[in-house]
Structure 1
């Protein structure tokens, strides 16, 4: 059974992920941050928040397909 807290994190993450795919990184970042306020240990929200911060400074190309390309190990 999913707790109310976990469901809230999942909902916030899902909303952030949709915005992320639309390249709306600033708005997506807000949802990932909110998810981390509910559960500071949520790994996926932390990863996507970091990617949003990266893409705000270095946007992907217009034809971006949503795939994150690692630049270092």
Structure 2
């Protein structure tokens, strides 16, 4: 059974993913940050938070399809 807290984290993550795909990185990062306030160990929110930070300072190309391309290990 999923706790109410985890349901909230999942909902915030899903909202953040929609914003991320829309290239609204500033708004998306807020959703991931809210999720991390509830569960600081939420791996997916950590990953997308970092990706949003990256894209806010290094915007993806116009033909970006939502896929994150790693440039280093």
* TM-score interval, smaller chain: over 0.9
Structure 1 ranges of 4+ moved more than 2 A:
none
Structure 2 distance, partners of 1:44, 1:68, is 13
Structure 2 distance, partners of 1:23, 1:64, is 9
Give the TM-score, by structure 1 length: 0.99
- Report how many residues are paired: 73
- Aligned-CA RMSD value: 0.4
Partner residue of 1:67?
Answer: 67
Structure 2 distance, partners of 1:22, 1:63, is 12
Identify unmatched segments of 5+ residues in structure 1: none
Identify unmatched segments of 5+ residues in structure 2: none
Give the TM-score, by structure 2 length: 0.99
